[in-house]
Amino acid sequence: MDIRFVVPGNVRHGSGGNKYNAALAKHLSALGETVQTVTVDGDWPVGSAADRELLAEALDGGATVIADGLVASGAPDVVAVAVARGVKVWILSHMALAEHPALEGKALAAATGVICPSDHAAQELRAKHGQHNIVVARPGAGPADIAVGSEPPRIVAVAALLPNKQQMLLVEALGLLRGLPWTAALVGSPDADPAYAAEVRAAVERHGLQSRIDLTGELSGPSLEEQWRAADLSVLISKSEAFGMVVVESLAHGVPVMVRQGTGAVEALDGSGAGLALQIEAATDLAEAIRAWLGDPALREQWRRAAVQARNNLPGWDATAATVLAALTLPPR
């Protein structure tokens, strides 16, 4: 099968969506499919008339297309025209478009089908737009070495510095725990929202934590693996999260995770016992949870053992690709 994979060009940091797209394309190719990745620049998720024309060109002539929701969900007319011409257009919706629900609903209805990374994301779309042909293809895990950890315990938060990711709240929580032994690393791009990144850095300085919290910038390869090797706890407390690929990445390294209740990250933790899903109303809530973890060596070891056990049960990206491929081969509805 020839598959055209249309992805946005205006997300230049290592987002979970970008990583999912790249891994899916790679593993669809490994299954023997021909995958052409087409990057479409523009001011997505809606874009200008010229942007949408570029999207129309990307969809035209492809018998089977997977289109990232960031470019397709805000352009229902483009999707509808392509489907009317016989193109099977599957929208890969990493996260619902909060600011453009009407456009998104029309685009999903016009598409051949929808792919979501989690049941949480699929349920959100169904609640907003009614029943659609939705296939859930959860992210896989790649091979990874088990973390060694650090002394004092090291906390990592791997995500671009963005308001939704709530690094400010984490810094405030750690500021309440200055008297306890720990170090931390905020691993993520400061370029996605420079103003917010500056606020995070200022908060670190305001609390006098420059020697304890590292702002590493975006890392990959051996540099990122070095952070995982030293980690004892991963924190992902986004306000909203479709799935939270970093949770799977954490578990792949045998690192337990704290996540926010009510987000797709809870699904990624999957009842493994390798961490905690907590209600967070203020920094004090997170601080108390971290305080309890720091002060209880038995709890830390319990979570670590659970994370190592969960690591052994994580599906690979080959399973993700197989799920998507099975959907693509179904006849149009």
Question: What confidence score (pLDDT) does residue 177 get?
Answer: 98
pLDDT at 214 over 80: yes
Rounded to two decimals, what is the model's pTM? 0.91
Q: How many residues would you count in the chain? A: 333
Pairing of strands 34-40, 233-236: unpaired
63 or 176, greater pLDDT: 176
Say what the pLDDT of residue 61 is. 75
Three-state secondary structure call for residue 303? helix
Q: Do domains 2-140+316-328 and 154-311 have the same CATH topology?
A: yes
**Among 230-234, 271-275, 301-305, whose mean pLDDT is lowest?**
271-275
Cα distances (angstroms) measured from residue 119 to each of 83, 122, 124, 200, 245:
26, 5, 8, 32, 14
The answer to whether 309 and 254 have CB atoms below 8 angstroms apart is: no
Domain boundaries, the chain: 2-140+316-328, 154-311
pLDDT the model gives residue 182: 98
Predicted pLDDT at 132: 74
In this prediction, residue 241 carries a pLDDT of: 93
CATH of domain 154-311: 3.40.50.2000
Give the mean pLDDT of 240-264: 95
Average pLDDT, stretch 45-57? 92
In whole angstroms, give the CA distance from residue 101 to residue 150.
45
**pLDDT given for residue 257 in this prediction:** 98
Question: Averaged over 113-136, what is the pLDDT?
Answer: 92
Residue of 42 and 146 predicted with greater confidence: 146
CA atoms within 13 A on the CB side of 190: 14
pLDDT in tens, 28-45: 999 999 999 999 998 889
Taking only the tens place, the pLDDT of each residue in 307-328 is: 999 999 999 999 999 999 999 9
Give the span between the Cα atoms of 132 and 308, in whole angstroms: 37
pLDDT at position 333 over 60: no
The architecture in CATH of the region 2-140+316-328 reads 3-Layer(aba) Sandwich (3.40)
* Across 268-281, average pLDDT: 93
pLDDT given for residue 332 in this prediction: 58
Q: Is residue 330 over pLDDT 80? A: no
DSSP secondary structure code for residue 163 in this structure: G
Given a contact cutoff of 8 angstroms between Cβ atoms, the answer to whether 51 and 41 are in contact is: yes
Give burial (CB, 10 Å; 0-12/13-18/19+) of 127.
exposed
pLDDT of 331 reads: 66
Residues 48 and 80 sit within 8 Å (Cβ to Cβ):
no
Name the burial class of residue 63, with classes exposed (0-12), middle (13-18) and buried (19+) by CB atoms within 10 angstroms of its CB: exposed
Nearest C-alpha neighbor of 55 from the set 29, 24, 91: 91
